[in-house]
Amino acid sequence: MPEGALPKKQKCEDHAVTKFREYIRIKTVHPTPDYDGAISFLRNYAEEIGLPFRTVEVHPARLVAIITWEGLDPSLPSIMLNSHTDVVPVFKEHWKVDPFVAEKMENGDIYGRGTQDMKSNGIIYLEAIRKLKTEGQRFNRTIHLTFVPDEEIGGKLGMEKFVVHEEFNKLNIGFAFDEGLANPTSAFTVFYGERAPWWIRVKCSGNPGHGSRFIQGTAAEKFRRIINSFLDFRAQEEKKLNGNACLKLGDVTTVNLTNIQGGVQFNVVPMDMYAGFDIRIAPTVDLQEFENKVKNWCTQAGDDVTYEFHQKCTIQDTTSINETDPWWKTFSTVCENMGMTLEPEIFPAATDSRFIREIGIPALGFSPMNNTPILLHDHNEFLNEDIFLKGIDIYAAIIPAIANRSA
């Protein structure tokens, strides 16, 4: 540095970014998420903004945090801004930085587990509310910010229990926002439904014996047939997707072989072999017809081929994106006025929105992250701070319109 020169002034980090990074550092990672740490963080956040905070225990050691901004007319159905506090495990050896330090690069990319899925949305909601409240704005409808546990392991002890809890009914929810996905283009993806996750375990039983013989009716022969049936169907759906530019991943059914078990040692033909499949069924598919297809595959594979469900979601409800729908019209008009291009899709995986839609509440999955690669559950998950801050401005424009929508 030349003599007498002053050091380059460091850019002051936005308070919202600092809070976002603090949230990432709370290790709410499975199998032992620090939910107490998250609850404490959110309680302090609510106090900082000046809003009431409470928790609802939906299952032992499973709390839903609720931050409420009461509307001018509490009798109107309220708005729900939902996010989950838990994150999926990491493989640290594949990360360029510690996934729970929330390191920020020179270009503003913030690395950490949960940056996209979905601690970003939680802070975006909070900071949008802070901004609106600081400006002195008030809205007709009450707004509830909800932070739920266990979404990443199916929501069984989280949102699924919350929506049937008496405290949820008291919230009088009329419309909800939940998580979406990043979009690598300049457009923004918004999700109005999702595929039904089925986890099926197929058991193939057959004749055992010595590994040196041609034994008939072995479990392995049936195992090969069952795998071929499932994966042949997978190939058909993939061909359908690749052959129609109008289709997105959420419009077709995916099948993946995710677990194989069987055998005791090299020279013993096993009596039982097992195959686990992760299936995500498009909402246009008749679920009973699809299960009949699975039954037929098992019958064709041979005798003593059975299946059981480890998860069987039958929710196929979708939220209207028709221009005549007042909720969609309000949301899409705000986005259009901001020059945003929306790409409505069926969510390819599963979120807590399915439980909300199942009880008749319209819900949109919307994470305002464009020009960003999709990295949920991936190594080196990151979100750029400028995209994050833009997301706050986007929700600060959406919330007033939604919360003031006429009855």
Catalytic residue among 127, 150, 151, 381: 151
Residues in the chain: 407
Place of tokens 């759906």: 237
Any catalytic annotation for residue 278? no
Name residue 197's beta-bridge partners: 280
369: how many CB neighbours lie within 10 A of its CB?
A: 27
Q: Which of 118, 52, 57 is nearest to 83 (CA)?
A: 118
Phi/psi class of residue 177: alpha, beta or left (left: φ > 0; alpha: ψ in -120 to 50)?
Answer: beta
6-25 as b/e: b if 16+ CB within 10 A: eeeeeeeeeebbebbbebbe
72 touches 139 (CB < 8 A): yes
**Cα Rg, the chain, nearest whole Å:** 24
Q: Which of 270, 164, 295 is nearest to 210 (CA)?
A: 270
Classified as helix, coil or strand, 95 is: coil
Catalytic residue among 86, 127, 152, 160: 86
Please give the sequence-ordered ranges of beta strands (E in DSSP) within 113-269, or none if there are none: 143-148, 173-178, 188-194, 196-205, 209-210, 254-262, 268-269
Any catalytic annotation for residue 98? no
One-letter amino acid of 321: I
Residues 75, 80: Cα–Cα separation, whole Å: 15
One-letter amino acid of 169: N
CA atoms within 13 A on the CB side of 162: 27
Helix (H) and strand (E) counts in the chain: 10, 16
Residues 367, 345: Cα–Cα separation, whole Å: 13
For 188-228, give the DSSP string.
EEEEEEEPEEEEEEEEEE---EETTS--SS-HHHHHHHHHH
Hey, which residues are catalytic here? 86, 151
